[in-house]
Structure 1
Amino acid sequence: MPVNPDLVGRVFPPTPPYLVGREKVREFARAVFSDDPQHLDPEAARSLGYADVVAPPTFPIVLQDVTLQQLLAEPDSGIELSRVLHAEQRFRYSRPIVAGDELTAQLSVTGIRTLGGNAMVTSEAEMVDAAGAHVVTATSVLLVGEGDA
């Protein structure tokens, strides 16, 4: 089944709130080989004006993954995980993510472009804090291959 073109414009329910933990930020920083003290040491982060450790710039992928699971679970999407390649990723920040933030994300499918028998599915996961203020938008492009893997 090809990717459903009616996905464009579809907005998914917000995720449950995700509490950004200090240890999760540290673990993520180590996983991406970021040794910047603001990601690991609360005092270093405070000296820069933050309340706690600051998440590395790619940290939103943790919450964006929850939103992409919603998309992949759609029975009419035409997207099978075995045919998906993560082709592109971008982040647009209003402010950094800091340990203690409680974030909620909401995914919308913003475009589908076909290339031969393949489809490029673009989605945006908008993440807001507990007060509803924008923190970051994570834009992802999935390349969905044609036929069986």
Structure 2
Amino acid sequence: MLEDLLTTLLYSDVGNPLNNGALLLFRVLLAVELFRVHGLRKFRPEAGAAAEVVPNPLGLPPALNQLVATFSDTVVPALVVLGVATRLAVLPTIGVTAIGYFVVHRHDALAVRDVPYIYTICFLLLLVLGPGTYSADHYLWAVLTAS
């Protein structure tokens, strides 16, 4: 049972080196863009404004809401680039981006809504496929199942 869980969480191979390389490139570019555009805003104010404060449509405690959003835009991209606990790591980002699409921007124009939509779809793809063989998850799975 534990091996089945580890396989589900850590094993990921999309068939051949080209596909695994494409998945590596996809997840690195996606994670870098998320961090560059959204993660850095949490720390670096733009044009003299305060650091970004994330909307709180679910009414969570403000500190928790900010923590989840900051984690999703800063720590998760690092984990995704490395391929560490990828399937688990993407869950907060999927939550934040899906809430952005379905709740925060539900009445906005499609041109505004498409950003959280695309992020949600991309991170859902990583949730389903995993990080591929060029990842820490792959090597961890190989070590854990070698015995």
TM-score by length of 1: 0.26
**Which structure's residues are more often strand, by fraction?**
1
**Which structure's residues are more often helix, by fraction?**
2
Q: Which has the higher contact order (CA 8 A, sep 6+)?
A: 2
TM-score by length of 2: 0.26
